[in-house]
């Protein structure tokens, strides 16, 4: 399988909203307040108002469900969603518990982004599949997104 870079997405979040344990796990919402994205064919800002709705399952896996709006540098709007999974090694959990960043490779963070836009210049987004690798950084989550060819 081949891929090519689509974008790097950097997100800024507000304090989390912890809803508590429900029948499916611990629900936590990460409000998206800002961000930016850049790739070979598009770049711009993340608009405020999106969220990453997560559920921490009993087996320790975090399920992500992100929904945001992107505004390209030429003012096109793109709806972006992704679903994903993150699970941490004991070392990553310990680092996060201490308020530290986990070491790269000590956690698994993968996403399946989808896009929708009415802008003709970016219509290619409506017809592609992508995968992402998430990273935990001090400034907020960063997602390296690749288009599957």
Distance (Å, whole) CA 82 – CA 96:
23
% residues pLDDT > 70 (the chain): 100
The string of pLDDT tens digits covering residues 83-130 is 999 999 999 889 888 888 888 889 999 999 999 999 999 999 999 999
Chain-centre distance for alpha carbon 143: 6
Q: State residue 99's pLDDT score.
A: 81
- 125, 148 Cβ separation under 8 angstroms: no
- How does the average pLDDT of the chain come out, rounded? 95
Query: Lowest-confidence range among 3-17, 50-64, 74-88, 98-112?
Result: 98-112
């Amino acid at each position: 399988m081949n891929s090519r870079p689509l974008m790097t997405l950097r997100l800024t979040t507000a304090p989390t909203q912890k809803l508590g344990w429900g029948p499916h796990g611990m629900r936590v919402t990460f409000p998206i307040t800002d961000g930016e994205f850049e790739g070979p064919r598009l770049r711009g800002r993340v608009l405020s108002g999106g969220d990453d709705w997560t559920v921490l399952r009993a087996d320790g896996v975090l399920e992500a469900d992100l929904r945001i709006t992107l505004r390209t540098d030429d003012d096109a709007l793109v709806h972006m969603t992704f679903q994903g999974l993150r699970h941490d090694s004991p070392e990553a959990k310990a680092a996060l518990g201490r308020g530290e960043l986990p070491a790269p490779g000590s956690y698994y963070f993968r996403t399946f982004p989808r896009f929708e836009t009415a802008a003709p210049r970016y219509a290619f987004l409506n017809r592609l599949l992508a995968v992402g690798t998430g990273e935990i950084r001090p400034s907020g989550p960063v997602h390296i997104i690749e288009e599957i060819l």
